[in-house]
Amino acid sequence: MADQAGSGIDGMLLVDKPQGWTSHDVVARARRLLGTRKVGHAGTLDPMATGLLVLAAGRATRLLTYVTGHDKHYQATIRLGVSTVTDDAEGDVVSTADASGVGNSDIAAAVDALTGHIMQSPSAVSAIKVDGKRSYARVRAGEDVALPPRPVTVTTFRVDQVRREGTHLDLDVAVDVSSGTYVRALARDLGAALGVGGHLTALRRTRVGALDVNDAVTLEELAARVEAGAVVDLVPLDAAAAAILPALPVTPAQAGTLGFGKVLPGVGDALGAPRTRDDHTADAVALDPTGAAIAVVRRSGNDVRPVIVFRPAAAPHRGHEA
């Protein structure tokens, strides 16, 4: 497998991350198993969390920024009546309250207020940088950090079960959220709205865009395949690009133009309304008639320009001079 990886393996690998592992731990393990250093991940999962971690190898790592921007689905458990410094079960308890009097109607109203387009302050122990230093590093150093709120979208916030355990309540919830939303911040804010505090005790990511955890492998399964000498089934570069980005079909001639890194004139309308130069939310993948991913493209006026080229056009054959 190492020889196959080292010879230019490209594609995405969907991993069902185990609890207790950091995302970096998973990447390091995948690098060893695939035999290549060129492996990255999209969308960090905290060590406490389990579920879908999207990895990419080789040229497919250039797609990771697009994976990160997709919406995500989580299953989680929120404990009401206990607040922690990290807003999850890994942090020290900072306050407790009797939540036994919180009714289901109170919960439903507070959940409804946290659904839709909202302003959310990220957890202070997030990886967001403050003056060049990670917020969580500042907190661990004893600093008080208050991150400014930012707009996020909570498409679904559904309470599936309420379990009453003495003075606290455990809520099993399902959420669909935009990129950049912190589920533990939802737990914190739900507890604050109900006046009893709250934190996250379990979190599992089951979907990122169109990518589903049901298609993922565990690290144990991955290791077993490698040790048995079996080929690791990555999502091929072409299929991965088509699953992540809108498709722009191109002719062989147009594919050649994009493959040389040149602008494709007069087809900008195919990518919708013009965006700013650095806005990648309307990018697409140019697919030739065989379904091969040629380039990630972006509208520029009425033209389309390549921003990532996967298959550079081959230099023309000149033959031998007489």
Largest CA distance in the chain: 94
Identify the active-site residue in 46, 189, 238, 288.
46
Backbone dihedral region of 131: left (phi > 0), alpha (psi from -120 to 50 degrees) or beta?
Answer: left
Active-site annotation holds for 46: yes
| Structure tokens that stand for 92 in this block | 């020290």
Identify which of 12, 5, 61, 56 has the alpha carbon closest to the alpha carbon of residue 33: 5
Say whether 221 sits in a helix, a strand or coil. helix
Cα–Cα distance for residue pair 42/56, rounded to 1 Å = 8
- Output DSSP code: residue 264: B
Q: Cβ distance 80 to 198 under 8 Å?
A: yes
Backbone dihedral region of 51: left (phi > 0), alpha (psi from -120 to 50 degrees) or beta?
Answer: left
Cα–Cα distance for residue pair 146/287, rounded to 1 Å = 45
Q: What phi, psi does 252 have (nearest 5°)?
A: -55, -40
Q: Which amino acid is at 234?
A: L
| Structure tokens that stand for 199 in this block | 């934190």
Q: Active-site positions?
A: 46
